[in-house]
Structure 1
């Protein structure tokens, strides 16, 4: 009997000393992750459920998580609004052209800053880092854009924001991690700097460029403040400005443009129309992000492990 008690105590002591702390830690981490997933996922499910539920159910407040009474008439009403598709086209133009130019100029800026033999390397690194803490401000930036004649033009959404100092630093660090022997051997073979950049540096930092592309694209896609400053013409405004008008100002224009009047318009919930617009605006990001997800961890772990 005493031997059994001693064995149980020794087993309990080993369990508490060796595995109990790790198990408790793992359980806490998993619970926190599960809580974070629920907190993050619930708003998306709620917005989607509101958008496809019946207008009467939304008006009564019956929708909590899952859709109540499927109804897609509001999607038809919103999608008949021509301004939605004009804004979509503008956003795709600003995102595609702007992101491409961002990546090009980021690589061009980061490459010389990563070369140790570049004599202005330290000074330019200082000036670029300086802009991360101090800037000219909103009014001088507005004066520059208007002075260059970019106001009410598509280039007002692209040219003033070609570079992000933080992203240039990330790209520079990625290029610095490339062995210098590769650059020296390419130079001995007669390759110039542009050939080294295009054929050696860029192919070797594709994971980092994928992450920077995601950062730039999301920022371009969600940008509405600069459009509010520099774009007065409705036909040039991006999707986020359309959402601002729909979510903050009013939703009646959508109903009128779609020809929904009288009883048909009254039957539609204003809240539902707003959530339908949110779902339509979120779809492109949800579709594109999974294709870049595999590069996200590689890019964000840049410099975490030193050999």
Structure 2
């Protein structure tokens, strides 16, 4: 099993090592040296400067757009999934089972299948080629809602909620003072799923946006890649590789920051 895990680890880390190593190469060294070997000159800083200044700094614009879509889209999806999942787990109301079936059905539908109908709907509303065409669809995260529903069912003891109600606490106070703390690991998990999905979103922005000023990093870097390999190719493959490296750094930083909130047993001992 240890050998198998080592093989999987190498398989997972090799593309990242290739990306880091090739970000230090010049355009000429990219095609004249082996992929996992360093070039003749260490050009990482040079590549970073060239990436963020190329085409009047459009890369920084794409980075800002991606952060905007993540903050509003993924952040909103996390809030909605948390509120809806908690309500479905801890409250009883008519139509609850039907809603559960709808959520399960939505989880099974791939996002690419909804891209064209979403485009037609937003086209009729006049929202295509605007940030709202990316933000509004990102607010819907059926898997995140289902995950919060399942997590809240077990992590928030009903006896604790009943004790708080007996003490006179309102439902809002119970949620923000008690349930939110118990739901923290689940909220972080949903947030990470939403952030990664929005950060890596490619197909939806590709069909929704035609103005490069509103592109996220995924579509922008793909445009650079096509520009570098087209008929009138430009020598910017080093910018594509370096831009890809810069793109994954925020995701890694977010994961390292949020993983400390993954704690188990927060409600242990609360119910006797």
Superposition TM-score, scaled by structure 2 size: 0.84
Task: Show the counterpart of 1:282.
Answer: 248
Task: Show the counterpart of 1:15.
Answer: none
The separation in 1 between residues aligned to 2:194 and 2:216, in whole angstroms, is 16
The separation in 2 between residues aligned to 1:138 and 1:278, in whole angstroms, is 25
Q: Contact 1:251–1:273 (CA<8 Å) still a contact in 2?
A: no
**Deviation (angstroms), 1:134:** 5.0
Task: Show the counterpart of 2:189.
Answer: 211
Task: Show the counterpart of 2:47.
Answer: 74
Task: Show the counterpart of 2:87.
Answer: 112
The separation in 1 between residues aligned to 2:126 and 2:165, in whole angstroms, is 42
Change (3 A) 1:187 1:67: farther
1:60 and 2:38 are equivalent in the alignment: no
1:98 and 2:73 are equivalent in the alignment: yes
1:47 and 2:13 are equivalent in the alignment: no
Q: 2:23 is paired with a residue of what secondary structure?
A: helix
Say how many residue pairs are matched.
257
The separation in 2 between residues aligned to 1:65 and 1:96, in whole angstroms, is 37
Residue among 185, 192, 200 paired with 1:222: 200
Task: Show the counterpart of 1:146.
Answer: 123
Aligned positions of 1:127-142 closer than 5 A: 127-134=102-109, 137-142=114-119
The separation in 1 between residues aligned to 2:176 and 2:118, in whole angstroms, is 33
Q: Contact 2:62–2:215 (CA<8 Å) still a contact in 1?
A: yes
Q: Contact 1:251–1:270 (CA<8 Å) still a contact in 2?
A: no
How large is the Cα RMSD of the aligned pairs? 2.6
Q: Contact 2:85–2:149 (CA<8 Å) still a contact in 1?
A: yes
Change (3 A) 1:107 1:292: same
Unpaired stretches in structure 2, ≥5 consecutive residues: 266-272
Q: Contact 2:27–2:237 (CA<8 Å) still a contact in 1?
A: no
Q: Contact 1:90–1:237 (CA<8 Å) still a contact in 2?
A: yes
1:121 and 2:96 are equivalent in the alignment: yes
The separation in 2 between residues aligned to 1:203 and 1:297, in whole angstroms, is 11
Superposition TM-score, scaled by structure 1 size: 0.75
User: Which one is further off, 73-82 or 54-63?
Assistant: 54-63
What CA deviation, in whole Å up to 9, does each residue of 1:204-250 have, x standing for no partner?
A: 11011111111101111111211112222221111111111012333
The separation in 2 between residues aligned to 1:115 and 1:286, in whole angstroms, is 34
Q: Contact 2:224–2:236 (CA<8 Å) still a contact in 1?
A: no
Residue among 140, 145, 158 paired with 1:180: 158
Q: Contact 1:46–1:66 (CA<8 Å) still a contact in 2?
A: no
Residue among 53, 58, 61 paired with 1:86: 61
Unpaired stretches in structure 1, ≥5 consecutive residues: 1-28, 256-264, 300-307
Q: Contact 1:52–1:71 (CA<8 Å) still a contact in 2?
A: yes
The separation in 1 between residues aligned to 2:5 and 2:34, in whole angstroms, is 29
**Deviation (angstroms), 1:152:** 1.9
Moved over 6 A (4+): none
The separation in 2 between residues aligned to 1:127 and 1:159, in whole angstroms, is 19
**Deviation (angstroms), 1:54:** 3.9
